[in-house]
A and B are shown apart, each in its own frame.
Chain A
Amino acid sequence: MENKVTSLQEAISHISDGDMVALGGSLIRRHPMAAVYEIIRQRKKNLTVVAWSSGNDVDILAAAGCIKEVQTSYVGLQNFGLARNFRRSVESGQVKVLEQSESIAKEKFRAGGSGLTFAITKTPLGTDLMRNPAYRHSVECPFTGERYVAIEAYKPDVAIIHGHYADPEGNIHVPKRRMMDNEIDILIAKSAKRVIVTVEKIVGRRFILERPHETFLPGIFVDHVVEVPYGCHPNSCDARYDYDEEHLKMYQEMAKSPETFQKYLDEYVYSVKDHYEYLEKIGIRRLMAITRE
């Protein structure tokens, strides 16, 4: 059995400047934040982030100057407001956006993960999404004559998603009671050339073998597995732990200006050696306070 367990540093080192990186999760849920922080620590540049719904993952990457383009359906902090760093980056022209609705993004990942090179949609017809040349190809159904817009399948260089458990071979387990918005993580992983999965805990193979119906993504799709408990913090992780309200409020406060946000980056990302040092900064009290199941 191949052992795919590696350190966060090693896994993220496979990302090159200019890569297209797909990130799992949605809103402020289950984004692979520990991996995002490591991308920032390794000072990756000019990334194109593709996702179906984004939150503080894209916001902090924009603040750290890691990305040149974002293709997603949403960037925001849900009930905590607009993504302030992302907003500044787009308003200043530093970061470009390809607007895509939830279903457009889903179709592009599904096509990529199905070995197709494009998908079709009617969603953007008539809207200003069509201003982007990505939507310039109109296609007609050869059977019915209906008009569609062709959308290019995703084939990201690297995809990063977060799961609950994995065995060393990278069979990823997520309990059945989970947020079903994030099932698109499976499509995201399948579309990519290289797949990194961060998990709450590495378990023995027996754990997986006894629950094969709860294997979210089989190891054949996975290249690297990294153990990062509370690896979505300050995001939520299904019913396992909640988003950290206190931390996100502080985050939003510091995101009010680039200067104060630089302090956030210094405190929680740059000055932190690894994920465990990050968790020590957050502290056991906060982590226990957000733990649910």
Chain B
Amino acid sequence: MAKYTTAELMASVVSKELRDRDVCFIGIGSSGPAFIMAVAVPTVAARLAQLQHAPNLHFMFGPVIDPIIDGDFAPKSTSEYWYVNLLSAAQVPLEDTLNLFKLNKMTVGFASGAQVDKYGNCNITAIGDYEKPKVRLVGTLAQTDIACYSHRFIITVKHDKKTLVEKVDFITSAGYLDGGDSRKKAGLPGGGPSIVVSDMAVMDFHETKKTMRLRSVHPGFTVDDVIKNTGFELEIPDHVGQTPVPTELELGYIRNKIDPCGYWLKARLTGEEATLDRF
């Protein structure tokens, strides 16, 4: 069995959550490990899904729809030149892709955060007291839209106590708010977060309480590791499996076809090579 990286494992997990005819919105930007989490894992996952079980899946980088990103077609940097010249089905005004959310046509969004809480609410706005923040972050981007409207969204996140917190300091994007039916009551049209994929485990949400629940632990980690690195009480079912490792076929697709140069999963296109591996 070929050894795999954490980023490859995460891409494989996310790809299994994607279905044929899904329409996925992927943001572009950031660098290093944050780029791998927020951009590269969703992108490679979408391509893996297209190559395996979801040939009619669409994904877009903001206004760039159905881009060709394999191998040497990948953008070589985050600068505009590369995105403008990406082979793609369409480059439309961003307004059109933002409106896909409101038209109920965006089935999958991706979210990440400096903080994510047990209901899947995310924070990319400010740490500490909002009025006098300890750390001012970037704001909202489209994440508030993604979490509001997409049929479901997938959270990719670094697994530690600083990130996975009891309650986010600021809800930039709505998960299940206070749990139960609070998301529905608030009038949010989208379905909320489906799974959380970290560099240590996969979580989903309890059907009625809507609290985060451990689904599987990545090889190399134990349930105890996960509990110790989570800042709130995770729902732990009686049986917690091991996260399925990427198959030979998936690794072949990633390494020989989609991302042979590491532009994506090694963040090389951002000019700052990175890894999510802890060992």
Contacts and interface: CB of A to CB of B under 8 A. Distances in A.
Interface centre among A72, A104, A126 (most CB of B within 10 A): A126
Contact of A123 (B94, B126, B148): B148
B155 to A, nearest CB: 15
Interface string A215-256: 000000000000000000000111100110100000000000
Chain B interface category by residue count: 35 or more
B174 A245 contact: no
A97 interface: yes
Interface in A100-124: 100-104, 106, 110, 122-124
Interface in B73-87: 77-81, 83-85
A79 B144 contact: no
Contact of B187 (A79, A125, A180): A125
A128 B140 contact: no
B134 interface: yes
Contacts of A292: 81
Contacts of B174: 125-127
B93 interface: yes
Interface in B91-121: 91-95, 98-99, 101-102
A183 interface: yes
A29 interface: yes
B173 interface: yes
A86 interface: yes
A124 B148 CA distance: 8
A79 B98 contact: no
A128 B139 contact: no
B15 interface: no
A2 interface: no
Contact of B182 (A99, A106, A126, A243): A126
- Which applies to chain A's interface (DSSP): helix, strand, loop or mixed? mixed
Given A126-B188, A181-B62, A106 B95 contact: yes
Interface string A81-95: 111001100110100
A239 B86 CA distance: 11
A99 B125 contact: yes
A73 interface: yes
Interface centre among A53, A76, A125, A238 (most CB of B within 10 A): A125
Contacts of A79: 29-31, 35, 78, 270-272
Given A73-B142, A123-B145, A124-B144, A78 B78 contact: yes
A99 B126 CA distance: 11
Given A79-B29, A110-B95, A91 B170 contact: no
A101 B177 CA distance: 18
A90 B133 contact: yes
Contact of A183 (B35, B95, B186): B95
Interface centre among A30, A183, A187, A245 (most CB of B within 10 A): A183
Contact of A87 (B85, B102, B135): B135
A165 interface: no
A261 interface: no
A247 to B, nearest CB: 13
Contact of A125 (B83, B91, B132, B186): B186
B93 A238 contact: no
A87 B128 CA distance: 13
A87 B94 contact: no
B21 interface: no
A184 interface: yes
A75 interface: yes
Interface in B212-245: none
A293 to B, nearest CB: 8
Contact of B98 (A72, A80, A91, A102): A102
Given A79-B35, A99-B125, A101-B144, A236 B138 contact: no
Contacts of B131: 93
B134 A73 contact: no
A179 B83 contact: yes
Interface of A: 27, 29-30, 53, 72-76, 78-83, 86-87, 90-91, 93, 97, 99-104, 106, 110, 122-129, 131, 146-147, 177-184, 187, 236-239, 242-243, 245, 292-293
Given A79-B31, A122-B148, 11 more contacts: A76-B139, A78-B78, A79-B29, A79-B271, A125-B174, A126-B188, A131-B130, A181-B62, A184-B95, A237-B80, A238-B80
Query: Which 5 interchain pairs have the tightest Cβ spacing?
Result: A126-B186, A79-B31, A180-B63, A183-B93, A101-B144
